[in-house]
Amino acid sequence: MNPKAAKFVLPALIVVVLAIPLFVTVPYYLHIMFMIFLLATMGLGWNLIGGYGAQLSLGHSVFFAIGAYTAVLFVVYKRLTPLVGGVIGMALAVVAAVIIGLPCFRLRGPYFALATIASGEITRTLLLHFKDFTAGANGVPIPFHGNDPLFLQFSSKAEYYYLALLLLAVVFMIVRTMERAKIGRYLAAVREDQDAAESLGVKTAWVKMAAFMLSAVIVAACGVLYAFTVGYIDPDSVASVDLSIQIAVVVIVGGIGTLWGPILGAAVIVLLTELTNMYLGAVRGGASLVLYGILLIVVILVKPNGLISLFDRFWPKKQVAHGTTA
């Protein structure tokens, strides 16, 4: 972004976003904004490995599900605050990232994508199978005890809105710092040419694993926040292939390997889906997903660097520096 634009656009955007809940009180609209923030955060997390590291993961629902289920089950069985349960969930997501990453990073191209899909499906199958513990396909409702910040329970949507926004801001800063730090350059090297990077002394396996672990933590945190906002989780909503795909699509539509891409992608996809559901949903289900699929196809064919590249001419330099060759 050139300095001039940054001076005005960014602060204005921040003020608007912070002020929205003061004027908008319709829970549905706040929920739409919440979903944009949440998907954008997940996209930023996915981007670490999927974008900067160019490892097309289609199994990130594993981490989302681990975060959500760990925090929720701790509340249900032990009445442990999700502030602790969530952290345990994020730690477990790191463990899962290592278990999945160790073997999968040896695979390349479509094999990696397929192996991550299989990891996601295994997680979903296990959640469905151990009914006594996870309630299987019935899902787990979170008992509501009224306003209780310690248990992430609020009677209005605004609190969740700000929590998601805060999470987005924190993750944004983390990713921005990483992008400029050594690990960001190493990841870029892995993306451009894994073998060359290795021969130059970059420990590609370690770099990819570190990015994968961080990306798992971020997505797990989103899972925790999602669970307590919606108040109910089941394997189909938190552990489906569709979710994994959506996380990836948000980034690809927005702009893979860029900082603002996931945010733009999340906004475009959530608004597109909600608007079509609002106007066409009554006619036939599925219309919004048709548009979502078409959007993905068009972006792949016409704008492989994502919709963010439409803005390239406003800040040409920045985009070159990030080199988004898909």
Nearest to 263 by CA among 271, 254, 272: 254
Strand partners, 141: 232
Kindly tell me which of 128 and 271 has the beta carbon lying closer to other proteins.
128
Instruction: With beta carbons less than 8 A apart as the criterion, state whether 44 and 102 touch.
Output: no
The answer to whether residue 113 forms part of the interface with other proteins (CB under 8 A) is yes
The answer to whether residue 188 forms part of the interface with other proteins (CB under 8 A) is no
Helix, strand, coil percentages, rounded to 5, for the chain: 80, 0, 20
Piece in contact with other proteins (CB under 8 A), picked from 20-28, 31-39, 122-130, 167-175: 122-130
Build a one-symbol-per-residue string for 39-58: x at contacts with other proteins by CB under 8 A, - elsewhere.
---------------x-x--
The answer to whether residue 122 forms part of the interface with other proteins (CB under 8 A) is yes
The answer to whether residue 252 forms part of the interface with other proteins (CB under 8 A) is yes
Is the Cα torsion angle 162, 167, 169, 170 positive or negative in sign?
positive
The residues in 49-108 that bind other proteins, with binding defined as CB under 8 A, are: 54, 56, 103, 106-108
Query: Measured between alpha carbons, how far is 304 from 180 in angstroms, rounded to an integer?
Result: 23
Instruction: With beta carbons less than 8 A apart as the criterion, state whether 69 and 226 touch.
Output: no
Kindly tell me which of 231 and 304 has the beta carbon lying closer to other proteins.
304
Burial class (CB in 10 A: 0-12, 13-18, 19+), 270: buried
Kindly tell me which of 157 and 191 has the beta carbon lying closer to other proteins.
191
Nearest to 256 by CA among 10, 114, 61, 44: 44
What are the distances in angstroms from CA 87 to CA 152, 214, 243? Answer: 14, 13, 22
Piece in contact with other proteins (CB under 8 A), picked from 73-81, 88-96, 266-274, 283-291: 283-291
The answer to whether residue 292 forms part of the interface with other proteins (CB under 8 A) is yes
The residues in 303-322 that bind other proteins, with binding defined as CB under 8 A, are: 304
The answer to whether residue 115 forms part of the interface with other proteins (CB under 8 A) is yes
- Return the residue matching tokens 């009224």: 146
Q: How many residues bind other proteins (CB under 8 A)?
A: 42
Task: List interacting residues with other proteins (CB under 8 A).
Answer: 54, 56, 103, 106-111, 113-115, 117-119, 121-122, 125-126, 128-129, 241, 245, 248-249, 252, 284-287, 289-290, 292-297, 300-301, 304, 326
